Structure 1
């Protein structure tokens, strides 16, 4: 019988919540790595990738007991806007520049509307959870379909 692979990401998290036996770093060392990388200007996802690829730290949470973003908040290095929302806003700004130059690009006009809808949905969630300020307002660049 063939293996069910459709729709799977082909990667699973480890079952054990304990740090792996082959990872020899202490929690203080891992926190120091995170703070050093954040001061260099890396965002949370790139910090996780660097720790995985260069330092052989597969997951931070089992080792230090908290996530990378929680560690950055404790060190007052957390960004003001969550990373996923900031990436969407950056993508919308780049697409707005493109739309200024290419007014008749209807495919990207629709993409802009979808991105802005995702920004509004995420900002509502983060306002409700208290992650971003209640006064945060994203101004839509493309509001009409015409």
Structure 2
């Protein structure tokens, strides 16, 4: 978004409507494991990676949506284990707070001043996108609000 670089290429998931035969886990077990990992403090993307790598009772879960019919965030919302902020917005706010603290200590660091401007711009764009749906209607981003929310 803020650079001249092209997007990075990567492999795509196979197009399928059913989980593979080798991953025959019960949907209820997967949902229980998702809620358990969320209570341990893992984010939705980390939960997906843990289920892919470790699985449920030793059997890997390559795709939670294929196994349960719901996304990880949907499972968390149903069980009241979801975060108050969307994960992408929270990650950008963490980065902006960290950059702001660095720039306050190192005023001569022009490169990171620019990075802070770009990151805060992305945060404001995401706040506008999520406003009213996932966050409060009157929420506005500021360093103080972000620091308070992330503590």
| Structure 2: segments with no counterpart, 5+ residues | 1-5, 145-151
Q: Return the TM-score normalized by structure 2.
A: 0.85
| Structure 1: segments with no counterpart, 5+ residues | 1-5, 142-146
Question: What is the alpha-carbon distance in structure 1 between the residues aligned to residue 129 and residue 64 of structure 2?
Answer: 26
Q: Which residue number in structure 2 is paired with residue 32 of structure 1? A: 32
- C-alpha change, 1:17 and 1:90, in structure 2 (3 Å) is same
Give 4+ residue runs of structure 1 displaced > 4 Å after superposition: none
Checking the alignment, whether the CA contact within 8 Å between 1:95 and 1:112 is kept in structure 2 is: yes
Question: What is the alpha-carbon distance in structure 2 between the residues aligned to residue 123 and residue 60 of structure 1?
Answer: 27
Q: Return the TM-score normalized by structure 1.
A: 0.87
**1:105 partnered with 2:109:** yes
- C-alpha change, 1:140 and 1:32, in structure 2 (3 Å) is closer
Q: Which residue number in structure 1 is paired with residue 138 of structure 2? A: 135
What does 1:44-55 correspond to in 2, within 5 Å?
Answer: 44-55=44-55
Select the structure of larger CA radius of gyration.
1
Alpha-carbon displacement from aligned partner over 1:76-121 (angstroms, at most 9, x marks no partner): 0000000000000000111111011101111100000000000000
Alpha-carbon displacement from aligned partner over 1:2-46 (angstroms, at most 9, x marks no partner): xxxx95633211211111111021100100110110111111010
Checking the alignment, whether the CA contact within 8 Å between 2:19 and 2:66 is kept in structure 1 is: yes
Checking the alignment, whether the CA contact within 8 Å between 2:97 and 2:143 is kept in structure 1 is: no
Q: Which residue number in structure 1 is paired with residue 18 of structure 2? A: 18
- C-alpha change, 1:9 and 1:137, in structure 2 (3 Å) is same
Q: What is the number of residues matched between the two proteins?
A: 135
Question: What is the alpha-carbon distance in structure 1 between the residues aligned to residue 86 and residue 8 of structure 2?
Answer: 26
